Each structure stands twice: as structure tokens, then as C-alpha cells.
């Protein structure tokens, strides 16, 4: 007698549940996806004990017919695909037909549904047995899952703490709310409301309910399209960062997905605007032909395979760069507002959503209160004479005005003074500014060096004394592999015999201390087995700008401070240094009034 046999249906379902139902959040995901596919405009989720005791998902969607209810719990039972063509043109969130079968294999399930707005039907499933009856039900479907993993105790060993599991569910609900802002989501945990959205369709409102009003006000709209893709969404200004990628949300045709390359494109767009190791807050919606994306590569359907991925990456990077470059990215000091202003906080936010259509819109009540708290004070001139012991700031080529017209990115500021030889204090009608002088000159020099490194020319100058460099045999072998990259940034090494090399000339735009710069660039090559030319040029520009910029505790003359701010104003991204740290901080007039208790 053969030893191969067909698995019992209940055992097969439990095995399938291992792929689909990893934790309570997996159950919530599958049930909410089905509710969305049913055309619901309102979805309510309630959990107790982080979903291990009960999970209830109710909606006002199309409902399920009485005769279809038992079929919904069968394996590979679905109403969403009928052919191979459908499989490669997926337009729904759930389509595998495994969710309810897998969930009911490891829990007790009660489904109530009404498809005609009149008669409701109930189906109870436990241990493979089904009981069906009439019941009172509203239009739509309500599914209650209880005693999750009651018959598979080994699975409970892999469930984390209740706090962790509830966090997973909350995160899942946040993603659903952002992916479908036209649906009104309500989420309760142990009778405590965790999330509620209005279903207005405004993504900014949803992100305000998730991340708070301060971040919501600093969101920048992204919109653009090509023949294959349409990208819309919101990204936060660089002052709002997080320590991991978790706050980046990507949605393709309404489905939350994870994709390393698309996330990389977003990070590239924020290049030099974020500190190292920090990540932006963003929610991007991508609409595309379903034929260009394969969502059937993983049971959770969160990992997808994309066609024309490089084109989509380029579009995302371009749109985010354009959006950020068109905004002032100077962070403001967060001074707690008075109660009168807080009263109008939500009202003002609702008007903020109209800024794209009409930037002049401002709620009258808020406007009146702000003007009452902020009397207009004219800027007065001050006669700041430079201290005699202060040496002039070295005039370098990268600070000289460029021939082509440039766009001013910062407002005009009057220099007031300097703090600890590190921070420049300036003012205008909008308030007071503090500028990190090292970071400011880093940005100026970085943009200069980056441009020059990318434009290799024959404009060179001979060194007064040729620079001789001696390497070990191993170092010489590694250097030989990088001669092309060194040539690309203007460093020509000539072999002088054995492991010795000489450099006789450098580009005219090189810093005054060329020897130190050359050694730093060569050390970079020695420390990297492979060097990407674009990244090499980028890193070289950052390194040169950092080492050649004024440091802290360097006192400047008034004229030098004014010139530094003026040069910074005409850089392409004057808000952060190349490492992503802020250059300028603003204190508005109201902030100053609040700090000195002039307004309460």
C-alpha cells in the first residue's frame, strides 16, 4: 500500500493558515481588505486583548448572499478572479480565496451579512462545523473572530506581547486609512478609540489624525504622471524625520506595499536634506496598469514585482525633489501656543487643505487672533561695527557671484550679531533667525565643488612643488584600479617608479591646500574596494566642503556674516548642510512674544 495520501481538509487549512494568519494583525488585514473590496464607505474594527480574544470587522458594503456564505469559507473560493487574465490584472486587494478558510481553521468565526438591506443571515464556523440561521443585520457584513489559535497552542508561542501585537494592528489600520482616505475607518482596542477618520478623501486629514497637527501642516503635496504611472501623495519637510523606514508608506492601486527600490528613490530625492540614519515621513499613492505589477509573489501580498521599475523610481525622485525645492524648509521653533490659538487649530487645518487651490485662504477668526497677538513692529537698523581683532573671512572662488542669474531661496535678513563664534543672529519682519555658520558654508562649498567635480575641464594649475606619494605594494595595486575615478575628479597620478606616484597639477578650482585634499581623496579610494563614480564625486564634494569650511568658535566680521548669508540664499538647497543637518532655525515674532510672556 502506498504511503502518499491526501491531507484532511482541516489539517490542510491549518497548514495554509500558517502562511496567511501569522498573528492577530494578519486577521485584521484579510478581513479589512475584503470589506474594502465589497465597496464599503464605513469600516469599523474592534479588538479585545490585542485580537487574541476577539476581532470584529463590520462594514456597509455589498454584503454576501445567503447561498454564498458557506462557499466563502472553502479553500480557494473567491468571487474576484475567474481566469489567467484576471490573475495578471488584479484590481482587488483580496483574491487568493484562502483568508476565511485559513482564519476559521485556527479560530471560531461568526459571520453576519445582509445583501439587500432587509434580511440578514448568520453563519457560525468552529472546528470545521457550520451552522446557518437568520438574524438581524444591517446592510453589509460583520465578521467576529474569537479565541484565535485556540486549537493550535503551539502557534501562541510565536505571538509577542499584547502591547506588540496591538501595535501591529494599529499600524495596519493606519496604512488602510492612508491607502483609502475616502473610507471612514474607526478602530477600537478594548473599547478605547485608537483611530477615527472622516472618509472625506483628504489624505492630509488622515495623516493629521495619525501623526498629529504639527507634521500635517508641514506636508508637501506630490503629484505627477507619465504614460504608465500616476503618483500623488504627501511628504513631510526634512525637519520631521524618524529613525527607520517605517513611516514611509507606499501604495500601488490602493494596496500597501514594501519595495526597497522605490524607497531608495525617495531617499535619493531627500539627499543632503536628511541627517545620516534618519528617514522621512511620507505617503505616496501610485496608480498603474495592473498588468505592470505582480502582487501574487507572496502570501501577504505586500511584496510586489514591478515592470518598468526604473522609470517609476525616476518619476518619484523627480517629483519629490521638485516639490521640496519649491518650499521654504526653514524649521520653526516649536513654542506652545496659547489657548486662544489652540481653539482655532482644527479650523485652520481644514482651511490649510485649500491652499493649493487658493493660497490666500485663511480663516478669519484665526487671522484676527494672530494679529492681536502679533503687533507689527518695524525692523530697525543697527550699526554693528566689526571688531578689530576679527580677521576677514577667506574669499574663495566658490563664494564669488556666478554669472548666470540665480533664484533667491531665503528671505532677506539683517545680520544682528554672532553667538559663541558659531551661530549668526539675523532678523527680518518675519522674526529672528539663527544660522549655523559652519553648516552654511558647507552648503555653499558643497554645491560649488559638486558642480566643478562633475565638469572635468583642462583648466589646471601646476603645483609649486610636485606632490610625491608613496604607497605599499598592496595600496599601489588598489590605487591602480581607481585611476579612472581619480582622473574624473581632476587628480592625475603619474607612476614615478615602483609604488611611488607624483601629482604635478590640479584643477584651478581646487582648495588652496591641495595636498591635504588629494591625500583625503586617495584615502577614500583605498578604503573602498569598488567605487561608483557618481557616489565618489558626491562623497568627494561633501568631504572637501566639510574640511574647508569655517568651524565653530570662529568669530566673523559683520560684513563676512552678511556675505555668507547672501551666498547661502542663492544655493539650490539652503536649508541643510550636505549631511542633512539644519542650517537655519526661525523664531517667529509670536514665538519670541511667547517666550517672554508678552502673550499668554
Look up residue 292 and give its three cell numbers. Answer: 505592470
Q: Is the pLDDT of residue 525 over 90?
A: no
Tell me: the pLDDT tens digits for 1-32?
566 666 566 656 555 554 568 889 999 999 99
How confident is the model at residue 166, as a pLDDT? 93
Q: Are residues 95 and 17 in the same domain?
A: yes
Higher pLDDT, 347 or 273: 273
Same domain, 53 and 147: yes
Q: Round to whole Å and give the CA distance between 17 and 8.
A: 14
pLDDT at 578 over 70: yes
Same domain, 120 and 25: yes
User: Per mean pLDDT, which range of 166-180, 328-342, 375-389 is the poorest?
Assistant: 375-389
Look at residue 537 in the predicted model and tell me its pLDDT: 80
Total domains in the chain come to 4
The pLDDT score that the predictor gives to residue 334 is 66
Q: Strand 248-252 to strand 282-288: parallel, antiparallel, or no bridges (unpaired)?
A: parallel
Better pLDDT: 315 or 466 = 315
pLDDT tens-digit readout, 433-492: 999 999 999 999 998 888 887 665 557 788 888 888 888 887 888 888 888 888 888 888
CATH classification of the domain holding 227: 3.30.230.10
**Which uninterrupted H or E stretch holds 130?**
strand 129-135
pLDDT over threshold 60, residue 205: yes
Q: Is residue 447 part of a domain?
A: no
- Is 451 part of any domain? no
Residue 16 sits in the same domain as residue 163 = yes
The C-alpha atoms of residue 378 and residue 45 are separated, in whole angstroms, by 55
In a domain, 553, yes or no: no
The tens digit of pLDDT for each residue in 275-297 reads 888 899 999 999 988 888 876 55
Instruction: Grade residue 264 by pLDDT with cuts at 50, 70 and 90.
Output: very high
Q: Which pLDDT tens digit goes with each residue over 72-83?
A: 887 666 655 455
What is the phi/psi pair of residue 588, to 5°?
-70, 170
Cα separation, 122 vs 105, whole angstroms: 18
Last residue within a domain, chosen from 325, 350, 383 = 325
pLDDT at 433: 95
Reduced to 3 states (helix: H, G, I; strand: E, B; else coil), residue 103 is helix
For 94-149, write each residue's pLDDT tens digit.
545 578 888 988 899 999 999 988 899 999 999 888 999 999 888 999 999 999 98
Residue 490 has what pLDDT? Answer: 81
Q: What is the DSSP letter of 367?
A: H
Mean pLDDT over 580-585 rounds to: 92
Angle between helix 24-37 and 162-179 (nearest 10):
20
pLDDT at 305 over 90: no
Say what the pLDDT of residue 306 is. 85
The pLDDT of residue 360: 42
Q: Which has the higher per-residue pLDDT, 415 or 533?
A: 415
pTM here is 0.70
What pLDDT is recorded for position 296? 58
Residue 437 falls within a domain, yes or no?
Answer: no
Q: Is residue 388 part of a domain?
A: no
CATH number at residue 103: 3.30.565.10
Question: Is residue 41 located within the same domain as residue 136?
Answer: yes
- pLDDT over 70, % of the chain: 78
Residue 488: give its domain's CATH number.
Answer: 3.30.1370.100
Q: What is the pLDDT of residue 80?
A: 54
Residue 87 has pLDDT above 60, yes or no: no
pLDDT for res 355: 38
Neighbours of 14 (CB within 10 A): 18
Looking at residue 258, the DSSP 8-state letter turns out to be B
Kindly state whether residues 24 and 168 are assigned to the same domain: yes
Q: What is the pLDDT of residue 13?
A: 57
- pLDDT at position 335 is 61
Q: Which of 154, 188, 203, 186 is nearest to 47 (CA)?
A: 188
176 and 37 in one domain?
Answer: yes
Report which of residues 349 and 423 the model is more confident about. 423
50 or 398, which is more confident: 50
Among 180, 196, 212, the domain boundary falls at 196
- Tell me if 552 is assigned to some domain: no
Residues 147 and 265 placed together within one structural domain of the fold: no
Confidence of residue 390 (pLDDT cuts 50, 70, 90): low
Residues 215 and 293 in one domain: yes
| 176 lies in the same domain as 223 | no
Q: How much is the pLDDT for 109?
A: 94
Q: Residue 353: which domain range?
A: 339-375
566 grid coordinates: 547672501
Sheet of 494-497: strand order equals 460-470, 500-507, 494-497
DSSP 556-568: --HHHHHHHHHHH
Q: What pLDDT sits at residue 391?
A: 58
- The torsion of the CA quartet 348, 349, 355, 361, rounded to 10 degrees, works out to -10
Does 403 score more than 80 pLDDT? no
Rounded to the nearest integer, the mean pLDDT of the chain is 80
Q: What is the pLDDT of residues 207-217, one digit of tens each?
A: 999 998 888 99
For 546, phi and psi rounded to 5 degrees?
A: -70, -45
Q: Give CA torsion, residues 568, 570, 573, 577, to 10 deg.
A: -20
- Cell 518619484 found at: 316
Residues 6+ apart with CB under 8 A from 69: 111, 113, 121, 123, 132
Between 460 and 350, residue with greater pLDDT: 460
**Of the candidates 285, 281, 303, the residue with the CA atom closest to the CA atom of residue 294:** 303
* pLDDT value for 234: 96
The answer for 277, left when phi > 0, alpha when psi is -120 to 50, beta otherwise, is left
Task: Indicate whether 232 and 319 sit together in one domain.
Answer: yes
Which residues share a beta bridge with 343?
none
Grid coordinates given for 472: 605599499
Share of the chain above pLDDT 90, in %: 38
Over range 508-526, report the average pLDDT.
Answer: 80
Question: Is residue 126 in a domain?
Answer: yes
If asked whether residues 362 and 226 sit together in one domain, one would say: no
pLDDT over 50 (residue 367): no
Degrees (nearest 5) of the Cα angle 532, 533, 535?
70
Residue 65 maps to a domain: yes
Of residues 267 and 363, which shows the higher confidence score?
267
Q: Is pLDDT at 175 greater than 90 in this prediction?
A: yes
* 41 vs 355: which has the higher pLDDT: 41
Amino acid at each position: 500500500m502506498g504511503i502518499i495520501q491526501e491531507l484532511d481538509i482541516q489539517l490542510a487549512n491549518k497548514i495554509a493558515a500558517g502562511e496567511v494568519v501569522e498573528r492577530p494583525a494578519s486577521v485584521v488585514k484579510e478581513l479589512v481588505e475584503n470589506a474594502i473590496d465589497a465597496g464599503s464607505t464605513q469600516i469599523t474594527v474592534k479588538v479585545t486583548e490585542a485580537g487574541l480574544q476577539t476581532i470584529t470587522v463590520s462594514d456597509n458594503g455589498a454584503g454576501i448572499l445567503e447561498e454564498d456564505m458557506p462557499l466563502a469559507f472553502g479553500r480557494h473560493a473567491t468571487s474576484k478572479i475567474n481566469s489567467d487574465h484576471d490573475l495578471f490584472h488584479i484590481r482587488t486587494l483580496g483574491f487568493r480565496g484562502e483568508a476565511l478558510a485559513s482564519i476559521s481553521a485556527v479560530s471560531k468565526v461568526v459571520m453576519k451579512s445582509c445583501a439587500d438591506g432587509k434580511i440578514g443571515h448568520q453563519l457560525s464556523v468552529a472546528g470545521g462545523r457550520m451552522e446557518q440561521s437568520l438574524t438581524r443585520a444591517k446592510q453589509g457584513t460583520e465578521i467576529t473572530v474569537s479565541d484565535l489559535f485556540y486549537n493550535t497552542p503551539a502557534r501562541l508561542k510565536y505571538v509577542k506581547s499584547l502591547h506588540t501585537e496591538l501595535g501591529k494592528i494599529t499600524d495596519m489600520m493606519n496604512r488602510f486609512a492612508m491607502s483609502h482616505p475616502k473610507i471612514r475607518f474607526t478602530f477600537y482596542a478594548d473599547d478605547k478609540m485608537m483611530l477615527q477618520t472622516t472618509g472625506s478623501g483628504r489624505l492630509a486629514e488622515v495623516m493629521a489624525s495619525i501623526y498629529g497637527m504639527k507634521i500635517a501642516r508641514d506636508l508637501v503635496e506630490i503629484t505627477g504622471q507619465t504614460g504608465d504611472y500616476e503618483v500623488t501623495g504627501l511628504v513631510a519637510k526634512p525637519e520631521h524625520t524618524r529613525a527607520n523606514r517605517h513611516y514611509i508608506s507606499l501604495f500601488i492601486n490602493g494596496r500597501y506595499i514594501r519595495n526597497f527600490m522605490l524607497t531608495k528613490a525617495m531617499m535619493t530625492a531627500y539627499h543632503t536634506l536628511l541627517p545620516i540614519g534618519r528617514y522621512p515621513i511620507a505617503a505616496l499613492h501610485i496608480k498603474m496598469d495592473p498588468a505592470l505589477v505582480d502582487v501574487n509573489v507572496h502570501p501577504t501580498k505586500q511584496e510586489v514585482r514591478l515592470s518598468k521599475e526604473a522609470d517609476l523610481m525616476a518619476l518619484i525622485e523627480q517629483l519629490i525633489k521638485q516639490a521640496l525645492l519649491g518650499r521654504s524648509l526653514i524649521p520653526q521653533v516649536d513654542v506652545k501656543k496659547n489657548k486662544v490659538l489652540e481653539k482655532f487649530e482644527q479650523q485652520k487645518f481644514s482651511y490649510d487643505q485649500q491652499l493649493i487651490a487658493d493660497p490666500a485662504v485663511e480663516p478669519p477668526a484665526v487671522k484676527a487672533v494672530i494679529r492681536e497677538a502679533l503687533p507689527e513692529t518695524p525692523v530697525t537698523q543697527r550699526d554693528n561695527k566689526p571688531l578689530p581683532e576679527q580677521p576677514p573671512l577667506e574669499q574663495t572662488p566658490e563664494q564669488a557671484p556666478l554669472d548666470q542669474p540665480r533664484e533667491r531661496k531665503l528671505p532677506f535678513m539683517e545680520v544682528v550679531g554672532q553667538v559663541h563664534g558659531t551661530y549668526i543672529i539675523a532678523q527680518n519682519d518675519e522674526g529672528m533667525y539663527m544660522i549655523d555658520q559652519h553648516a552654511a558654508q558647507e552648503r555653499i562649498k558643497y554645491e560649488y565643488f559638486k558642480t566643478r567635480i562633475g565638469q572635468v575641464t583642462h583648466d589646471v594649475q601646476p603645483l609649486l612643488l610636485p606632490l610625491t606619494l608613496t604607497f605599499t605594494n598592496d595600496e599601489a595595486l588598489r590605487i591602480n584600479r581607481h585611476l579612472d575615478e581619480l582622473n574624473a575628479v581632476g587628480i592625475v597620478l603619474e607612476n614615478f617608479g615602483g609604488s611611488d606616484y607624483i601629482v604635478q597639477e590640479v584643477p584651478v578650482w581646487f582648495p588652496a591646500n591641495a595636498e591635504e585634499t588629494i591625500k583625503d581623496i586617495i584615502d577614500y579610494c583605498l578604503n573602498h574596494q569598488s567605487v561608483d563614480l557618481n557616489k565618489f564625486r558626491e562623497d568627494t564634494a561633501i568631504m572637501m566642503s566639510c574640511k574647508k569650511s569655517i568651524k565653530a568658535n570662529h568669530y566673523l566680521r559683520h560684513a563676512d556674516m552678511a556675505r555668507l548669508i547672501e551666498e547661502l540664499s542663492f544655493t539650490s538647497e539652503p536649508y541643510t548642510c550636505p549631511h542633512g543637518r539644519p542650517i537655519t532655525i526661525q523664531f517667529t515674532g509670536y514665538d519670541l512674544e511667547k517666550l517672554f510672556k508678552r502673550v499668554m
